[in-house]
Structure 1
């Protein structure tokens, strides 16, 4: 769960504690209903049913069971099932071919990477299937699976489809962009066909796919097309083109981006502000991007009037940070908040205070010293929260001495502050931190102890090795310790860590096995894969959600109504429904808000590292991450708990990676208004 912001932040403290009821295991044999129940049981237990699940995925029990078995294989992500999944690509029914294509993509996206020879086999099979596929819907799924696979052959097929003029051309462009975001090279993608896809006469979906590709192609040849897209009528196209300019644009784009700061859709302005901040990173003196950002002063009165979404552009600047030359901009924005007049409500006053602290912390990042953040917020932001915020910024400072400020905070009584101090020390180790960090290795809090382990590993404190081994022994009952402890063991004892890590390859928790396999692969230089470990029959699981279940998340800014996807994700939906009925979410905040990306909450710790004390398995669905979808935050496979997130805009790179289990049906304007620290008053269940 540690250091996973690039993978959507951490989620629950995973303890493998039973959640609710024990599901009855269906008897062997029987008809279709019994077979479907047995597939569900195998999926719950991460079992192949002694080979029966694979046989049923090949059609042994009929098409309905085959369809469900293929979905189970998609969720198991077991490399041994590859041939059964690929066989489904030749099924007679389009629905079966479509499900097999989805399962292939999920296997390609496995948390534990596939061997290269399997990727090659999959690439060949998917290319053959796509070439002969007559159904447009199945072809779309195959294109999406190419993006998850990301091999050279997969990219080449997407390039071939880019210029064909089919209805799925926009989908091919989107798939290429997602591949690029996931790290595949897009150097060979021709951009001439993309120009036609951006034409105003094209459907929104096609223009969006083109813009997504341009945002992640990261080549100067995309510059003029990105500039053209800034005036598109669709806000998500405008936002993507603004994002892309951060990679290939320059000072000449400041005027156009400045106009977007006043876009009627706040998330577009936030994206423009983030890009201007990134362009400003090259400025050593006042420059056009910094001058453009000064116009954000006009946002301050709106925030004071209660227009919380207007604060997102300011938040984006603070999160991105500015160079030392941008200090006058941060000062000007803070002054504008102070001069905005009396906030219209307590909510507005809290928003103003938090944004002031966010900007203050960005100033402290510039100097590598906590100063502004310790006196920000007009007395409305608690001291511990200000310290934690400032220390997190020090972890990102470029000032070598920045970690000196963090050493005393290692002894702070608040766990959030200690954790933030550890992050700062790990980023820039200093000798004075060695002893207090070693003391934290004995912390009862597994999050703090784990971060201390990661830090002593980074600092090469060999004397701490016995305490790290003691933490390794705790992994059996506290799986979240696995990742930082594995890193520390490898850093401190190298190949001598191999026996301990090999023992984790059969740990009951999938994420511990993944961590061990990754660590051993790096340690030995040879691919290492974990074992698949089945849960015993009758393993406890959450109750299934009620059909048509909804959640109403009440905040001071209004209510958010969520329709849960009880058909595709009954376990995930039921888990949140059960927690809501227990009153679990009352008083918990949205701890993470990234403008034009997500708002994330559900962590009782408030630092992104907490959860309910149990974990649930992933239930990957076919629901795409469009605007307003609710997803389960993860730190690895099967690590869901209580943390969830709402998407501000489409996020196709999340599709199939994080369980999407519902959507906002009312109150999206409340989601748009959320800022870090906004509190959940309660979550009601319905209907």
Structure 2
């Protein structure tokens, strides 16, 4: 840090510098001073300082946090945040600037812009980030104004952390025209020419990663931008380790822009960083260009890479059944399961069919907590590769005592177009996750011939199966029978008053509207309302399978209190996974106070004990903490988003959502860097140790307990 301030003014630096900026893990001044992270002591967190100042200052800052938590629905709330953004106290000012940005209202950008000139670099960085966040839904005029302010400050800025934040903000503005993209490119290319540090290059690379995604809808990146990114992919002298995030982000941008040439691909495939090699495998397997000899060479080498994440990505691009058969014996279970999945297209290979049959027949350990996966994946693959043999194996799975095996049996039955098996699972199974899979299969196999089944499923308690049944009835020719059942289900869900039934309610309302039926169910129906899912990239590709967001029509009471914020100012969480091991998190109370407090309160109450990680997507995320072991059932009340500067790097911990402010206490952990999730999904923690335990987690693994360590 170039600017030193007194202990009562110390604020957390930008995440671009320090160990996170160089390596993608760790950081400075993130949590309490008695702990060590990344080999150095870190300073007292923002909230400790904020709440231990004078009583008046502490009360003002708490009021800002509470107004943000309510999403500032009143003029008084907005006024309090605007006043705080001009406060002479740096802590108050930073909290208020961040809160204004999180409102995502273009009208407040003018209150944030003066922060770009503040004497403290931390506040300038926060202001840059807040401007981009506030502009997220802005019109072109507001976006142009924001870009002008950010670019002007970038030319004058002396601090590398702030320059990185300014670059990223410029790169992620919601551009809608080619001229805007060109202006952003010029500012970033100019900055790259002046970049003297890894932090500068990180900011440029991060900006282009976001800009490339926006440019996809408008036009290609310029030749100058592509050439710059190719240079950034090559390790600079002495930066083989320290510049790894720069190379990953630059390569991500090139993959998005379809700008990876053979030389760049070959260099990236031999990068010392495993994540860079993983992205190289993805580039070689990209579906938007014919696979070349160079691509095949890279993918072949990737199948033998020492890192499982690289082998997995190479396997996804592999087209050889023989290599896929070999990968089914991989020492990493996630690679082996992916290989079994891919054998579905190897029906002409006798060896592949034999391997799948052997895996399906070997149920000796399938009753164990962590031993059912091979048989389940093999059954679904066999159903596609050799239908008759798959059909012969199906009954031993539909009658299994393990619900996950029955769920996979429903997926296999759909591949086999076995309507009888699907109807039986949909109407008699004890588990609603199995019923959901069966209803989804019936939708493809029988369409509206199975409407009677869908109508019967509307009475179930699981939101996931009610949603699936309502969607299956969309466009039904049997409206007279379906509409009363749909209205009754909607009335029941509205009466329950749970935020997280929104997806089921939205599906019912959509189907009722499609058949011209009355959707009114009484005055309670207005508890939540849907709006279009236009929140930018990642919402439908992130740690849920997505649906329209929800906006509250009635604000909820805040859980934030000064006492809890002091008690949990620098906490850790220890998570024990049954039969796997334990890992620890650093919780970011200063970055996401409402999220940390909700998570901590639930953990301390035992809410998570015995729940599972129900969704495992290798080389993406693991997701868990649902009482129903699915994506549609979580804590009854939604929590708001608290997106910030901390990126979705490997080991970051976020809150799963299905739209803006729809977190229901399900958590996810990034298995790799996922930059497209930045500024969309809250990051409230980072894995401190035990990332190898996280890597070993399988679908259905049980959370024994979560201990909060203040």
| TM-score for both structures, normalised by structure 2 | 0.76
Task: Look up the match of 1:684.
Answer: 707
Question: Which stretch of the first structure deviates more once superposed, 74-83 or 328-337?
Answer: 328-337
Match of 1:482, SS? helix
Task: Look up the match of 1:177.
Answer: 209
Q: Deviations over 1:309-339 (max 9, x none)?
A: x011123345567435576575365478689
Counterparts of 1:303-322 in structure 2, within 5 Å, are 310-318=332-340, 322=344
Shift of 1:634: 1.4
Task: Look up the match of 1:194.
Answer: 229
Shift of 1:225: 1.9
Query: Which of 313, 332, 356 is 1:271 aligned to?
Result: 313
Shift of 1:106: 2.3
The separation in 1 between residues aligned to 2:448 and 2:633, in whole angstroms, is 30
Task: Look up the match of 1:9.
Answer: none
Task: Look up the match of 1:258.
Answer: 300
Counterparts of 1:123-272 in structure 2, within 5 Å, are 123-151=147-175, 152=177, 155-160=181-186, 161-162=188-189, 164-165=192-193, 166=195, 167=197, 168-181=200-213, 184-185=217-218, 187-190=220-223, 191-201=226-236, 202=239, 203-219=243-259, 222-247=261-286, 248=289, 250=291, 252=293, 253-272=295-314
Give 4+ residue runs of structure 1 displaced > 6 Å after superposition.
346-349, 367-370, 375-379, 495-501, 528-532
The separation in 2 between residues aligned to 1:428 and 1:224, in whole angstroms, is 47
Task: Look up the match of 2:426.
Answer: 410
Match of 2:466, SS? helix
Question: Which stretch of the first structure deviates more once superposed, 409-418 or 613-622?
Answer: 613-622
The separation in 2 between residues aligned to 1:378 and 1:388, in whole angstroms, is 8
Task: Look up the match of 2:63.
Answer: 38
The separation in 2 between residues aligned to 1:104 and 1:327, in whole angstroms, is 56
More helix by share: 1
Task: Look up the match of 2:123.
Answer: 96
Are 2:221 and 2:257, in contact at CA under 8 Å, matched by a contact in 1?
no
CA RMSD of aligned residues (A): 4.0
**1:371 equivalent in alignment to 2:394:** no
Shift of 1:540: 4.5
Q: Deviations over 1:429-449 (max 9, x none)?
A: 523211110222233433322
Q: Structure 1's 592 and 529: CA in aligned 2 closer, same or farther, altered over 3 A?
A: closer
Match of 2:687, SS? strand
Q: Structure with the greater relative contact order (CA < 8 A, sep ≥ 6): 1 or 2?
A: 1
Q: Structure 1's 366 and 337: CA in aligned 2 closer, same or farther, altered over 3 A?
A: closer
The separation in 1 between residues aligned to 2:189 and 2:340, in whole angstroms, is 38
Shift of 1:81: 2.5
Match of 1:685, SS? strand
The separation in 1 between residues aligned to 2:680 and 2:261, in whole angstroms, is 28
Shift of 1:558: 1.1
Which structure 2 residue ranges, 5 or more long, are not aligned? Answer: 1-50, 536-547
The separation in 2 between residues aligned to 1:639 and 1:481, in whole angstroms, is 11
Q: Structure 1's 275 and 429: CA in aligned 2 closer, same or farther, altered over 3 A?
A: same
Q: Structure 1's 467 and 327: CA in aligned 2 closer, same or farther, altered over 3 A?
A: farther
The separation in 2 between residues aligned to 1:609 and 1:592, in whole angstroms, is 12
Shift of 1:393: 6.1
| TM-score for both structures, normalised by structure 1 | 0.78
Task: Look up the match of 1:554.
Answer: 576
Q: Structure 1's 460 and 667: CA in aligned 2 closer, same or farther, altered over 3 A?
A: farther
Match of 1:31, SS? helix
Match of 1:32, SS? helix
Q: Structure 1's 78 and 533: CA in aligned 2 closer, same or farther, altered over 3 A?
A: farther
Q: Structure 1's 321 and 462: CA in aligned 2 closer, same or farther, altered over 3 A?
A: farther
